[in-house]
């Protein structure tokens, strides 16, 4: 495989940015990797783990001689980071991001870049864990997972090709989707499960006997709430950026909960079992060996 960049800049060397860097380095697909970060402690970890070769705090210095930029910071900060780097980047440099919400992010970045918006291609690597920071990054996190690119009519063909090569270089299966389709889909399959997990933990914690109840929490509670251990900063950004689709998904979920609740309250065993069986059928399809989501352990 050909090198994806001689000098790669990763802005936000956390779980995703760090995992991308490790995967590319392991495959020998990059020359130098520069890290731009906010937290000194995290950047020290990134250096110690060999994820990046050097740290820059000043965007102008970070952008020097760079061929490719990956902005892997929380969704709400992506456009501002691009705005800081853009005036200093060489003409050939292509920019991509890792944000979990695409419509508002791509719109804001394109507005920021103005006439040079052709050098940006939005991306969402569909892989992750509830852990954050460079310490949690692994060379295998992204491997064999999907990565959705969301180019617009303004994105140049060269930018799409180089962005595709970057994420494919980390072992990802790259596909494209318009941002307007991406956001409602991920509101349902990613953002809603996180809402449900946060709400589930909150419900138990708010119950009078919470501390005692939690002592008895076993597999079901742990499995259903694993992602509630995720970063509040990152997820608040995601929920707010995708608020229209997320609030619609929450309303649909409340509707499903209410139907189950009513069947239970009315002792309507037939309706209850039918609803549970429908859900069981769909869930079992997800676990079947042929289904994409069954290939890896993480959602
Ligand atoms: P993370 O918290 O592990 O890493 C983000 C890093 O960005 C942190 O090190 C933080 O210090 C740094 N940062 C924050 N603001 C910054 C700024 N203004 N300038 C420079 N650095 C800054 O988070 P992550 O899980 O790697 O997520 C990064 C991006 O990837 C987010 O946009 C998220 O939506 C997306 N994403 C996350 C997952 C997941 O499951 N964690 C999956 C797919 C995509």
39-97: pLDDT as tens digits: 999 999 999 999 999 999 999 999 999 999 999 999 999 999 999 999 999 999 999 99
Give 254: exposed, middle or buried? Use CB within 10 Å, 0-12, 13-18, 19+. exposed
Q: Which of 33-42, 140-149, 207-216, 282-291 has the lowest mean pLDDT?
A: 207-216
Tokens linked to 221:
């509670």
* CA–centroid distance, residue 16 to ligand 1 (Å): 7
Checking if the pLDDT of 210 tops 70, the result is: no
Residue 297: per-residue pLDDT: 45
CB atoms within 10 A of CB 83: 15
Domain range 5-177, its CATH number among 3.40.50.300, 3.40.50.720, 1.10.10.10, 3.10.20.90: 3.40.50.720
State whether the beta carbon of 238 lies less than 6 angstroms from ligand 1: yes
CB atoms within 10 A of CB 257: 11
Q: Which of 42-56, 145-159, 205-219 has the lowest mean pLDDT?
A: 205-219
Residue 296: per-residue pLDDT: 54
State whether the beta carbon of 299 lies less than 6 angstroms from ligand 1: no
Mean pLDDT of 150-158: 98
Tokens 């309706």, residue located: 271
Q: Which of 12, 97, 185, 232 has most ligand 1 atoms within 8 Å of its beta carbon, as the pocket-test mutant?
A: 12
Complete DSSP assignment for 164-222: HHHHHHTT-EEEE--HHHHHHHHIIIIIHHHHHHHHHHHHHHHSTTHHHHHHT--HHHH
Provide the pLDDT confidence category of residue 149 given band limits of 50, 70 and 90: very high
Residues of the chain with CATH 1.10.3660.10: 181-265
Strand, coil or helix: what is 112? Answer: helix
State whether the beta carbon of 75 lies less than 6 angstroms from ligand 1: yes
Q: Rounded mean pLDDT of the chain? A: 95
What is the distance between the alpha carbons of residues 297 and 248, in angstroms, rounded to a whole number?
28
Checking if the pLDDT of 298 tops 60, the result is: no
Length of the chain, in residues: 299
* φ, ψ (nearest 5 deg) of residue 127: -160, 150
Checking if the pLDDT of 169 tops 70, the result is: yes
Checking if the pLDDT of 206 tops 90, the result is: no
CB 76 within 8 A of CB 103: no
Residue 288: per-residue pLDDT: 82
Checking if the pLDDT of 299 tops 70, the result is: no
Domain 181-265 has CATH 3.40.50.2300: no
* CA–centroid distance, residue 132 to ligand 1 (Å): 8
State whether the beta carbon of 74 lies less than 6 angstroms from ligand 1: yes
pTM for this prediction:
0.94
How large a percentage of the chain has pLDDT more than 90?
A: 89
State whether the beta carbon of 98 lies less than 6 angstroms from ligand 1: yes
Atom of ligand 1 nearest to the CA of 39: 11
What is the distance between the alpha carbons of residues 81 and 76, in angstroms, rounded to a whole number?
10
Residues of the chain with CATH 3.40.50.720: 5-177
């Amino acid at each position: 495989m050909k090198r994806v960049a001689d000098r790669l800049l990763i802005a936000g060397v956390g779980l995703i940015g760090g995992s991308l860097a490790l995967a590319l380095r392991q495959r020998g697909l990059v020359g130098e990797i520069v890290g731009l970060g906010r937290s000194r402690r995290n950047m020290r970890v990134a250096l110690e783990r060999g994820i990046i070769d050097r740290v820059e705090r000043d965007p102008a210095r970070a952008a020097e001689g760079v061929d490719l930029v990956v902005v892997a910071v929380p969704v709400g900060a992506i456009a501002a980071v691009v705005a800081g780097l853009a005036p200093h980047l060489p003409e050939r440099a292509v920019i991509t991001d890792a944000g979990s919400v695409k419509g508002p992010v791509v719109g804001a970045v394109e507005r920021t870049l103005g006439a040079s918006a052709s050098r940006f291609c939005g991306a969402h690597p569909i892989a992750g864990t509830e852990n954050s920071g460079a310490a949690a990054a692994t060379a295998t996190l992204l491997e064999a997972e999907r990565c959705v690119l969301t180019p617009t009519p303004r994105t140049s063909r060269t930018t799409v090709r180089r962005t595709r090569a970057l994420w494919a270089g980390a072992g990802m299966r790259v596909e494209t989707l318009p941002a307007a389709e991406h956001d409602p889909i991920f509101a349902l399959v990613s953002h809603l499960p996180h809402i449900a997990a946060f709400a589930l933990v909150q419900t138990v914690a708010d119950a009078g006997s919470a501390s005692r109840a939690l002592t008895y929490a076993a597999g079901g509670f742990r499995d259903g709430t694993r992602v509630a251990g995720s970063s509040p900063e990152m997820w608040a950004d995601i929920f707010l950026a995708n608020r229209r689709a997320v609030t619609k998904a929450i309303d649909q979920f409340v509707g499903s909960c209410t139907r189950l609740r009513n069947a239970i309250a009315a002792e309507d065993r037939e309706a209850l079992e039918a609803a549970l069986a429908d859900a069981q059928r769909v869930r079992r399809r997800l676990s079947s060996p042929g289904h994409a989501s069954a290939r890896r352990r993480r959602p």
